[in-house]
Structure 1
Amino acid sequence: MKDIKFAITDIETTGSGIRGNKITEICIIVVQNGEVIDRYSSLVNPSQSIPLYIESLTGINDEMVLNSPQFSEIADEIEKITRDCVFVAHNVNFDYNILRAEFTNIGKEFKRKRICTVRLTKKLIPGLFSYSLGNICTSINIPHFDRHRAGGDCEATVTLFQRCVSLDPEYVVITEMLNRKTGASYLPPHFKDSDFDKLPKGTGVYFFKDKDGIPLYIGKAKNIKTRIKSHFQERSNRKYKLMQATHSIDYELTGNEFLALLRESELILKYYPEFNKAQKKYTKPYTLTSYHNQKGIEVFALHKNKIAPVSWMKFYTREEAVKFMEFVCEKFELCPKYSGLQRGVKSCDHYKIKSCSGLCKDEIGIHEYNERVAQALDFINEYDNSCLLMEKGRNRDEKAFIYLDQGKYAGYGFISNSEDFSQPEDFRNFLIPQKNSGYTDRIVSRYLNTKKNIKRIDLEDQSSKTTSYEPENFFAEIH
Structure 2
Amino acid sequence: MPEPMHDTTFAFIDLETTGGNAAWDRITEIGLRLWRNGEVVDEWQTLVNPETRISPFIQSLTGISDSMVADAPVFAQVGEMLREKLQGAVFVAHNARFDYGFVKGEFRRLQEVFSARVLCTVKLSRLLYPQHHRHGMDALIARHGLVSVERHRAMGDVQSMQAFFELARAEHGDESFSAALKKLLRTPSVPSHLESEMLATVPSVPGVYRFYGENDALLYVGKSVNIHNRVSSHFSGDHNSGRGVRMSQSLRRVEWTETAGELGALLLELKQIKNLNPIYNQRSRAAKRLLSIALEPDANGYLRARLAWEFDPLQLGQYFGLFRAKREALKALTGIAQKNELCNRLLGLEPPGEGPCFQRRLGRCQGACEGLEDVTRYNLRMQIAFHNLRLKTWPWPGMVGASERNPKSGRTDIHVIYNWLHVTTVQSGAELQAIEGAGHTITLDADSYKLIMKALLKPAPGLEIFPLPGELGTPEVLLPED
TM-score, normalised with respect to structure 1 = 0.42
TM-score, normalised with respect to structure 2 = 0.42
